């Protein structure tokens, strides 16, 4: 009797599992059919946006760039998390130059600062030859209340007020500190396409 009851219980459990498996399969089939129907209507499947993407949408919609700056999306508007900002200073040592920065945004933005690199090789105390940028708000001073607009203005400030006290390019910083006229000459030579010391800088003016 006990053996029969056990078999009955096992059979019931098995039938329940079969039903659950069937329901899961039906759900997957219906989900696939829904996606196909949306595609046939010319509507791509809806992609759930991360918190970082939602915040970035807000930042970009509220951008108030100076006239010396522009933003572009090399991968198209479907990839907002990777974009470029071009800066063309209209004053200071770097007047007339064109400098392109890449922005890579984390899915957890704004709780993590964007990764920003200078794609244009530049003779600058706060930007090294690999394009790394020394800007405090991209490092220890980053806060979630800051925005893309804040970063762009910070980058612009680097070109109008290069800082020799917190350098990534120590050679350029030393020249700026000790002989601003020589520094200005080096900047113009680099921007025009030429050597400064052992390093060749492609033309960006």
Q: Count of H helices and E strands in the chain?
A: 5, 6
> How far is the C-alpha of 18 from the C-alpha of 4, rounded, in Å?
21
Whether 134 is catalytic:
yes
> How far is the C-alpha of 80 from the C-alpha of 73, rounded, in Å?
7
DSSP 62-97: T----TTEEEE-TT-TT-TTEEEEEE--SSSTTTT-
Map tokens 């893309």 to a residue: 148
> ∠ at Cα 125 (157, 170), nearest 5°?
155
> How far is the C-alpha of 192 from the C-alpha of 186, rounded, in Å?
10
Active-site annotation holder among 118, 134, 156, 204: 134
- Residue 125 CB neighbours (<10 A): 24
Phi and psi (nearest 5°) for 101?
A: -120, 135
Quote the tokens at residue 17: 């599992």
- Residue 26 CB neighbours (<10 A): 10
Catalytic residues: 134
């Amino acid at each position: 009797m006990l053996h029969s009851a056990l078999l009955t219980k096992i059979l019931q459990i098995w039938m329940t599992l079969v039903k659950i498996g069937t329901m899961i399969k039906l759900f997957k089939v219906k989900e696939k059919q829904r996606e196909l129907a949306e595609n046939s209507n010319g509507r791509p499947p809806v992609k759930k946006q991360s918190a970082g993407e939602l915040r970035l949408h807000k930042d970009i919609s509220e951008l108030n760039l100076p006239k010396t700056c522009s933003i572009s999306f090399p991968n198209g508007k479907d990839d907002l998390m990777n974009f470029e900002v071009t800066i063309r200073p209209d004053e200071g040592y770097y007047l007339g130059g064109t400098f392109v920065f890449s922005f890579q945004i984390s899915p957890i933005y704004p709780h993590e600062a964007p990764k920003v690199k200078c794609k244009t090789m530049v003779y600058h105390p706060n930007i090294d030859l690999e394009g790394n940028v020394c800007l405090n708000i991209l490092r220890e001073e980053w806060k979630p209340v800051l925005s893309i607009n804040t970063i762009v203005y910070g980058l612009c400030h680097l070109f109008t007020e290069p800082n020799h006290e917190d350098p990534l390019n120590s050679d350029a910083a030393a020249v700026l500190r000790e002989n601003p006229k020589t520094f200005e000459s080096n900047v113009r030579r680099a921007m025009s396409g030429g050597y400064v010391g052992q390093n060749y800088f492609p033309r960006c003016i």
